[in-house]
C-alpha cells in the first residue's frame, strides 16, 4: 500500500518521517497540520498525498513503522537465554528505555498515541494495541519458563495480568515524562521500582 514511499531514497524518507513524527507528537492527531509536515519535510503537499491517501493513513503508517522498528530492535537485543518472565520483561524494559533515549521524538509520538482520543483513529489504535499485546507478546514471551508458576493456576490469564501490570507501569511513565526529563531519568531507579511490582506478582503467582 505504501510501496511508493518505501521506494524513496532513505534521506527523503527520513525527512518525511521525522517531520510527521514531530508534528503528530507535539500536536496530536487532530491538531497536526499536513501543511507544517510538508514545509518541514521540504516536499509538496501533492507529493505527500501521492504517498499517503490522507492524514489518517500517514498517522497509522507512522505508528506501524516505528512500532516495527521498535520491536525489531528489541528482538535483536533481548537476552533470549533468560527464561524467567519477570527478568525477561526487565530486560525488555531496559531496552525500551534506551531506545526512547536514542529516539526522543519516537518516545513523544508513542506517548501521544497512548492518549490520543480522536474518533478518526481511536478504534484503529485500540485494535493495534490489542494485536501488540496478544501477538507481539507471544513472540517475546512464548518461551518463558512456566514451571515456576503455582500448580493449578491459569497460566495464560496470569501472564495477561503480568503484562497489564507492567504495561500500566510503563504507560504511567510515558504519560508524565517529557523528552527533556527523559534524559534525566535514572534507569536503575526506574528498574528498581519495576522490581518492586515484579516481586509482588512473583509472590502471588510463583511456587
pLDDT tens-digit series, residues 99-124: 877 777 787 888 788 888 899 999 99
Sign of CA dihedral 70, 71, 76, 82: positive
- Of 194, 99, 88, the C-alpha closest to 142 is 88
φ/ψ bin of 100: left (φ > 0), alpha (ψ from -120 to 50), beta (otherwise): alpha
Cell numbers for 4, please give them: 511508493
Q: How confident is the model at residue 180 (pLDDT cuts 50, 70, 90)?
A: very low
What CATH number should be reported for the domain whose range is 3-205? 1.10.357.10
pLDDT tens-digit series, residues 51-70: 999 999 999 999 999 888 88
**SS3 (DSSP) at 48:** helix
pTM (2 d.p.): 0.78
Rg of the chain over Cα atoms, rounded to whole angstroms, equals 19
Q: Which range, of 13-22, 125-134, 173-182, 193-202, averages the lowest pLDDT? A: 173-182
Q: How confident is the model at residue 164 (pLDDT cuts 50, 70, 90)?
A: confident
Q: On the CB side of 59, how many CA atoms lie within 13 Å of its CA?
A: 26
Listed by start position, the domains of the chain span 3-205
CB under 8 Å to 151, separation ≥6 — which residues?
207
What pLDDT does 163 receive? 87
How many residues belong to the chain? 207
Amino acid at each position: 500500500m505504501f510501496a511508493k514511499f518505501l521506494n524513496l531514497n532513505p534521506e527523503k524518507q527520513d525527512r518525511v518521517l521525522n517531520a510527521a513524527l514531530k508534528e503528530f507528537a507535539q500536536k496530536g492527531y487532530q491538531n497536526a497540520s499536513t501543511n507544517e509536515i510538508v514545509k518541514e519535510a521540504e516536499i509538496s503537499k501533492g507529493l505527500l498525498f501521492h504517498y499517503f491517501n490522507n492524514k489518517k493513513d500517514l498517522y497509522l503508517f507512522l505508528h506501524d513503522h516505528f512500532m516495527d522498528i521498535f520491536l525489531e530492535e528489541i528482538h535483536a537485543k533481548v537476552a533470549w537465554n533468560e527464561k524467567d518472565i519477570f527478568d525477561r520483561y526487565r530486560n525488555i524494559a531496559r531496552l525500551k528505555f534506551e531506545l526512547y533515549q536514542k529516539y526522543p521524538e519516537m518516545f513523544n509520538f508513542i506517548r501521544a498515541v497512548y492518549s490520543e482520543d480522536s474518533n478518526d483513529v481511536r478504534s484503529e489504535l485500540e485494535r493495534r494495541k490489542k494485536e501488540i499485546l496478544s501477538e507481539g507478546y507471544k513472540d517475546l514471551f512464548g518461551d518463558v519458563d512456566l514451571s515456576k508458576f503455582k500448580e493449578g493456576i491459569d497460566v495464560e490469564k496470569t501472564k495477561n495480568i503480568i503484562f497489564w501490570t507492567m504495561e500500566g507501569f510503563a504507560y504511567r511513565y510515558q504519560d508524565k515524562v517529557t523528552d527533556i526529563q527523559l534524559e534525566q531519568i535514572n534507569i536503575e531507579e526506574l528498574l528498581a521500582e519495576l522490581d518492586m511490582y515484579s516481586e509482588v506478582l512473583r509472590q502471588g503467582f510463583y511456587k
